[in-house]
Amino acid sequence: MAFLKERSGVGLGAKSGFMCFLIIFCSVGLPQPAAEDALKSAIEAQQNVQSEGARSQQKVEILDEEAKVLLDEYRSAVSTLRNLNDYNAQMERQVGNQKQEIVRRETDLGQIEKTRRHIVPFMLRMLKVYEQLVELDIPFLPKERQLRVKQLKKMMDRSDITLAEKYRRLLEAYRVEAEYGHTIEAYQGKLENGGAERTVRFLRLGRVGFYYLSLDGSEAAKWHPKEKRWIVLDNGYREPIKQAILIAERQLPPDLVKLPLPAPEVVQ
């Protein structure tokens, strides 16, 4: 029967041919029970081969998946490494620029310290000149200006004020003094004369003329810069000085006023 099946051409392929060969061999050389045992053993062997092939194929597929995962991890690691290299290169450039900036700033700090050694004595001289100006100038607003000098002196000794702020305040004091030279001002204040003190109305015309008028208008005087004293004026100047005071206080419109002025000095 087995021989007839093989000859009938039922397509068992190579595996079937091998099986048929065994069946024929068994049919020719072995008794019927032995042939069946041989056939069963061959079938079991073939099944074992097929199972082993399936297991091998499964292992191959598992290894192929693991290889794909490792390849993806490798590609990711290569990309990360490339990004890190680019980042490190950028950081190296930044560190190089920062080192150059540190060197530049250290150089600037050295220049600043050198400048400080020159600017501080210069500012002290400015303050000394300012103090002399207030002392030798016509005696208008004496308390206000002397207080400004004291405050500037105290400021120069303070460590919590920057050098730039000290310089700014000195320049501001000079600016205020400069404005006094081209402004007109009238104010009421104390006049000391011969140990006595009385209240009068002062009039300042820039730094050219400085006058006072008693509150009752009975006396007018001008400051003599050379002699450093007050000189009482003729009665004819009392009214012009009063008018000039009202103009300075903006109680009258600007107008021409005849006032005595010190004679200009001729430099030899």
pTM above 0.85, yes or no: no
Provide the pLDDT confidence category of residue 110 given band limits of 50, 70 and 90. low
CA distances from 145 to 84, 139, 177, 195, 216 (A): 68, 9, 9, 22, 28
Count of residues making up the chain = 268
Q: Note the pLDDT of residue 265.
A: 59
Is 201 within 8 Å of 213 (Cβ atoms)? yes
Residues 6+ apart with CB under 8 A from 6: 12, 16, 17, 20, 23, 24
Q: Minimal CA–CA distance to 2: which of 56, 33, 39?
A: 39
Whether the predicted pLDDT of 87 surpasses 70: yes
Provide the pLDDT confidence category of residue 201 given band limits of 50, 70 and 90. very high
Structural domain span for residue 248: 183-262
Tally of CB atoms within 10 A around 146: 13
Q: Note the pLDDT of residue 202.
A: 97
Give domain status of residue 228, yes or no.
yes
Q: Minimal CA–CA distance to 233: which of 266, 262, 253?
A: 262
Give domain status of residue 235, yes or no.
yes
Give domain status of residue 203, yes or no.
yes
Give domain status of residue 200, yes or no.
yes
Give domain status of residue 39, yes or no.
no
Q: Minimal CA–CA distance to 20: which of 33, 32, 31, 7?
A: 7
DSSP 26-76: HHHHS-HHHHHHHHHHHHHHHHHHHHHHHHHHHHHHHHHHHHHHHHHHHHH
Give domain status of residue 222, yes or no.
yes
Overall average pLDDT of the 29-45 stretch:
72
**Sequence-ordered strand ranges (E) for the chain:** 184-193, 196-205, 209-214, 220-224, 229-232
Provide the pLDDT confidence category of residue 97 given band limits of 50, 70 and 90. confident
Helix axis angle, 32-136 relative to 13-29, nearest 10°? 150
Give domain status of residue 256, yes or no.
yes
Percent over 70 (pLDDT), the chain: 82
- What mean pLDDT value characterizes the chain? 82
**Which residue in the block uniquely carries the two structure tokens 């100047």?**
237
Q: Note the pLDDT of residue 44.
A: 79
In sequence order, what are the beta bridge partners of 211?
Answer: 203, 222
Query: Hey, what are 45's tokens?
Result: 């062997």
In sequence order, what are the beta bridge partners of 231?
Answer: 222
Helix axis angle, 142-156 relative to 32-136, nearest 10°? 140
Give domain status of residue 213, yes or no.
yes
The two counts, helices (H) then strands (E), for the chain are: 6, 5
Could you give the number of structural domains in the chain? 1
Provide the pLDDT confidence category of residue 186 given band limits of 50, 70 and 90. very high
Query: Hey, what are 230's tokens?
Result: 């007050």
Provide the pLDDT confidence category of residue 94 given band limits of 50, 70 and 90. confident
Is 100 within 8 Å of 92 (Cβ atoms)? no
**pLDDT tens for each residue of 113-125:** 677 778 889 999 9
